[in-house]
Structure 1
Amino acid sequence: MEYETIKLEKNKDVTTVILNRPDIHNAMNEKMMQELTSCFQNLSKDDSIRVIILTGNGKSFCAGADLHWMKRMVNYSMEENIEDSNLLLELYESIYSCSKPVIARVNGHAFGGGIGLFAVCDIAIAIPNCKFAFSEVKLGIIPAVISTYIARRLKLSDMRRLFITGERFNSEYAEKIGLIDFIAKEGEIDEIVNKYVSLLKSSGPKAIIEIKNLINNYEKLSIEDYKKYTVRKISELRVSEEGQEGINAFLEKRKSKWSE
């Protein structure tokens, strides 16, 4: 499938999704949101894909909202704004709920909604000296849609301060508070990304899906229902084809089929 605002690069069972508007720092508009959502929904259903990498083309990861999009938003009705905000929510959810593990390769600065794009990924790896900010408050608006996902990475006290000040912070601080998982040394980001690709490919594909569901259900179910869910789920996986293969491979001191 051809896209206007993103491009895909496939290397065997690893697909890299590239934000491809480098002339405007990969800023998002409606088209990019729709294309990213469709892309991740399709990749989630593609059994030939084991790992997805999300990155940006050029010097920036994502500058947030495109200026032309913002100009149009000024004249939107309440109903149009709700529809527009739902596009953003659907985008974040398509990445967060993707059945494949997603690694964010944060190749540069990110602001506003652009931070949400890597916050929803399973693993976020950045280059040094990136600049980040939840800058919405400076425009008299709030980082509402991304807050659900940011709250899963940050302490509420850090989230509150960064949201109400809109202050800029760097990669090192983002790692300290948990927004970024790892900072690569200069020129070494691909080495670290590839390390995690290898680790993920050594994990059971269906087990990864169930782990993501396990974590998501912790937020949705009552404690008692969650306990029952965990007992049922581990029992299902122990007798599953993948579970049997993994356990037997360990006992027989050989690689599992998915690791070969």
Structure 2
Amino acid sequence: MTLELINYKKTQQIAYISLNRPEKRNALNHQLVSELKETLDIIENDHTVKAVILKGEGKAFCAGADLAYIQDLQNFSYEENLEDSNHLKELFLKIYYYPKIIIASIQGAAIAGGCGLATVCDFAFAESGAKFSYSEVKIGFIPAIVSIFLVRKIGEGRAKQLLLSGQVISAQKALDYGLINGITSAEQLEEEVFDFAQKLITETSLQAKADTKHLIASTWHLPLEEAMNLAVVSNAKARSNEDCKKGIAAFLNKEKIEW
């Protein structure tokens, strides 16, 4: 695979995916979304990787859709726009259901689709000066795809406040709303995110995290009894997993667990 708009590297069981269009503030277009999907496919099958950090090169995390790309969409047929929308939907679903933890590392702006990208990650950390906005309504567009995930993440009331106003919020407000998980200085952001990822890798089971993510994603919309039945099945299956056997044995023997 040839990557033109993505930088990708691995270090200490962590895969770094960097949006690499700094001159466009890492704005999304069809090619960038394609390269993100392809890179995630490769990492999913790489057993040396246990966590993923998603970031942007330059001064911004991601400024949403590329202006030239938006202009091109004006000439698309309904069928072409439907196909293009599905392209982004597939990326968001891939991240949401991804079996490995994905952490967004956010500097500068996360706007529109860029804010959506951060929303679907499992965790997100931002430098203190970062700004967030679902700004689509300000140009007569709708934040359709991300709305499904945002309501689930922070609740309908706050999601409406952000999606219907298009307001720009600070990193502190994003933290207060539950949109992100932590704030640090710009100088410390990379180190803080790395340390968090390493802590997840060394202290928790990869299989258990993957199964827990799948359970959460699969049960939120179900009636209580049906969700509980699925949880019971997941609980029973987990007991025969090698990670579970290893973890329980280490716990009973008072040994340090090496994940």
User: TM-score over 0.5 for the alignment?
Assistant: yes
Post-superposition CA distance 1:159-210 (Å, at most 9, x none): 1122222111111111111111111134221232122112211211110110
- Percent of aligned pairs sharing the same letter: 36
Residue 229 (structure 2) aligns with: 228
Matched AA of 2:254: K
1:158 maps to 2:158? yes
- Give the distance between the partners of 1:199 and 1:139, measured in 2 at CA: 41
Secondary structure at 1:53 match in 2? strand
SS in 1 for 2:118: helix
For 1:170 and 1:107, the matched residues in 2 are separated by 12
CA contact (8 A) 1:41 1:98 kept: no
1:204 alignment partner in structure 2 = 205
Per-residue deviation, 1:220: 4.2
Distance 2:10 2:241 in 1: 29
TM alignment of 1:21-36, pairs within 5 A: 21-36=21-36
Q: Distance in 2 between matches of 1:42 and 1:14?
A: 13
Matches within 5 A, 1:161-240: 161-201=161-201, 202-240=203-241
- One-letter identity of the residue aligned with 1:42: I
- Range that drifts further, 149-158 or 25-34: 149-158
Moved more, 51-60 or 155-164: 155-164
CA distance in 2, matches of 1:194, 1:250: 27
Aligned length: 258
Q: CA deviation at 1:12?
A: 3.4
2:244 pairs with 1:243: yes
CA distance in 2, matches of 1:80, 1:106: 31
Within 2, Cα distance between the matches of 1:226 and 1:165? 34
Letter in 1 for 2:214: N
TM score, norm. by length of structure 2: 0.95
Asked if the contact 2:109/2:130 (under 8 Å) is kept, the reply is: yes
Structure 1 ranges of 4+ moved more than 4 A: none
Equivalent residue number for residue 11 of structure 1: 11
3-state SS in 2 of match to 1:151: helix
Is contact 2:116-2:134 (8 Å) kept? no
Matches within 5 A, 1:82-97: 82-97=82-97
TM-score of the pair, normalised by structure 1: 0.95
> What amino acid does structure 2 have at the position aligned with 1:8?
Y
CA distance in 1, matches of 2:241, 2:166: 48
| CA separation of 1:185 and 1:12: change in aligned 2, threshold 3 A | closer
- The more displaced of 209-218 and 231-240 is 231-240
- Give the Cα–Cα distance (whole angstroms) in 1 for the partners of residues 80 and 12 of structure 2: 41
Question: Contact 1:15–1:49 (CA<8 Å) still a contact in 2?
Answer: yes
SS of residue matched to 1:126: strand
Structure 1 residue 251: Cα displacement: 1.3
Question: Offset at 1:82?
Answer: 0.4
Q: Secondary structure at the match of 1:242?
A: helix
Counterpart in 2 of 1:252? 253
Cα-to-partner distance string for 1:199-255 (whole Å, 9 max, x where unaligned): 211211110110101111222433222212222222221222111100111111222
